[in-house]
């Protein structure tokens, strides 16, 4: 009996040791796996944002094109972008929705309260590009021309100027209802394609009364023969709850990267027009006090600093106590026992760099 009891005790110690080694190995695996996933997700998120943000305001071969304000149907002045999308200006009011203001190269909205519940500054405009954004995180948007430019082979001036179809070689890949930039080293115009088969015909019509939002005028303001046609793109990055119920990074309503808990955005502003950054500020802070449509200081942003905070997501209980992580100039205190890691990058706006 004594020998049996000794064997049982030794067996218990042995099994306990094996279980302890197994649990320790499992904990190490969970921790290392979560760290690897966070690092991969962080690098991927930064690369996706870098591709879009560094091209902010790219409208062709000219570095700086300004929105035509007020929008008109007369001859287009060099140095400006005409936007012919509906609705038409009414009196002194331009009713064009924010989603189609492609002349706004770069714009941001900062979380008023980093714990959430107070919205953004400047106030977020009405938009269909953002769905259920979490207001503890910042929002950044950019507009640009995208794709390989398709050369305009002919564009009769017409009356009003630029009212006839734009001609390109067949096989351009352009579809009906695409919203396009036509741009060169002088000026640019934004319009929606109204022709049913532009890819095969090579004729890109921009008539009124077709599509959504459609064009309020056919006048592009000039002949664009020799210019290039690109897709007009607005990208809006924000944080919202993803399919797993945890915060994630979104672009225009599409989930890109899961487990992105927070986003902070700082803008490197040149206030002396010497192409050098004088300060990094958040949106809603001087000199970037207002919306880009009314605050010309947004044209002085030449770099964007992105801070992302990622978590281990569904893997909770990985730390003995909630962690504290330096993040965007402050300290983030975790509300749980997940792992958290901060990622930072600075992106130069290519068309505004020296």
Contact indicator for 107, 123 with CB cutoff of 8 Å: no
Nearest-angstrom CA–CA distance, 217 and 175: 20
The range of the structural domain enclosing residue 340 comes to 37-352
Position 26 in a domain: no
Nearest-angstrom CA–CA distance, 69 and 86: 15
Nearest-angstrom CA–CA distance, 252 and 266: 20
Give per-residue pLDDT as tens, 91-123: 778 889 999 999 889 999 999 998 899 999 999
Question: pLDDT at position 18, please?
Answer: 55
The DSSP annotation for 252-320 comes to TTEEEEETEEEEEEEEEE-SSSSSS--EEE-TTSTTS-S-TTT-GGGGGEEEEEEEEEEE-TT----SS
Mean of all residue pLDDT scores within the chain: 90
Whether the pLDDT of residue 53 is over 70: the answer is yes
Whether the pLDDT of residue 22 is over 50: the answer is no
Looking at residue 143, the DSSP 8-state letter turns out to be E
Structure tokens at 351: 């068309």
Question: Partners of 183 in the beta sheet?
Answer: 188, 228
Segment among 8-17, 43-52, 209-218, 232-241 with least mean pLDDT: 8-17
Contact indicator for 120, 151 with CB cutoff of 8 Å: no
Position 21 in a domain: no
Position 8 in a domain: no
Position 18 in a domain: no
Contact indicator for 310, 260 with CB cutoff of 8 Å: yes
Position 6 in a domain: no
Question: pLDDT at position 200, please?
Answer: 93
Handedness of CA 239, 241, 243, 248 (dihedral sign): positive
Question: pLDDT at position 35, please?
Answer: 82
Classified as helix, coil or strand, 47 is helix
Segment among 151-165, 198-212, 235-249 with least mean pLDDT: 151-165
Position 2 in a domain: no
Position 31 in a domain: no
Contact indicator for 113, 136 with CB cutoff of 8 Å: yes
Nearest-angstrom CA–CA distance, 298 and 27: 48
Structural domains counted in the chain: 1
Mean pLDDT value across residues 296-318: 91
Question: pLDDT at position 147, please?
Answer: 86
Classified as helix, coil or strand, 152 is coil
Position 97 in a domain: yes
Q: How many residues does the chain have?
A: 354
Nearest-angstrom CA–CA distance, 232 and 178: 8
Mean pLDDT value across residues 65-85: 92
Mean pLDDT value across residues 203-229: 94
Give per-residue pLDDT as tens, 228-284: 999 999 999 999 999 999 999 999 999 999 999 999 999 999 999 888 999 999 999
Q: Supply the pTM of this predicted model.
A: 0.89
């Amino acid at each position: 009996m004594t020998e049996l009891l000794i064997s049982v005790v030794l067996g218990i110690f042995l099994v306990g040791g094996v279980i302890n080694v197994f649990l320790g190995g499992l904990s190490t695996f969970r921790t290392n796996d979560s760290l690897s996933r966070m690092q991969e997700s962080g690098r991927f998120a930064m690369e996706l944002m870098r591709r879009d943000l560094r091209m902010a305001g790219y409208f062709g071969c000219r570095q700086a094109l300004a929105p035509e304000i007020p929008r008109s149907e007369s001859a287009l002045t060099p140095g400006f972008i005409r936007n012919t999308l509906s609705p038409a200006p009414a009196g002194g009011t331009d009713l064009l929705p924010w989603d189609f203001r492609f002349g706004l190269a770069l714009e941001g909205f900062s979380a008023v309260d980093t714990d959430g519940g107070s919205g953004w500054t400047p106030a977020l405009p009405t938009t269909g590009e953002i769905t259920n954004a979490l207001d503890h995180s910042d929002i950044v948007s950019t507009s640009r021309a995208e794709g390989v430019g398709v050369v305009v082979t002919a564009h009769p001036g017409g009356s009003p100027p630029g009212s006839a179809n734009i001609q390109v070689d067949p096989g351009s890949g352009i579809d009906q209802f695409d919203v396009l930039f036509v741009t060169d080293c002088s000026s640019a115009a934004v319009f929606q394609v109204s022709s049913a088969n532009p890819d095969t015909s090579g004729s890109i019509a921009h008539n009124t009364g077709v599509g959504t939002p459609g064009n309020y005028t056919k006048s592009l303001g000039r002949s664009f023969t020799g210019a290039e046609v690109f897709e007009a793109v607005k990208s809006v990055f924000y944080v919202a709850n993803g399919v797993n119920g945890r915060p994630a990074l979104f672009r225009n309503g599409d989930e890109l990267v899961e487990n992105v808990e927070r986003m902070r955005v700082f803008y490197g502003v040149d206030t002396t027009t010497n192409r050098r950054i004088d300060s990094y500020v958040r949106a809603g802070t001087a000199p970037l006090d207002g919306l880009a449509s009314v605050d010309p200081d947004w044209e002085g942003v030449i770099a964007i600093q992105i801070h992302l905070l990622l978590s281990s997501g569904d893997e909770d209980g990985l730390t003995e106590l909630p962690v504290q992580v330096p993040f965007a100039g402050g300290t983030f205190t975790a509300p749980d026992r997940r792992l958290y890691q901060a990622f930072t990058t600075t992106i130069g706006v290519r068309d505004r760099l020296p």
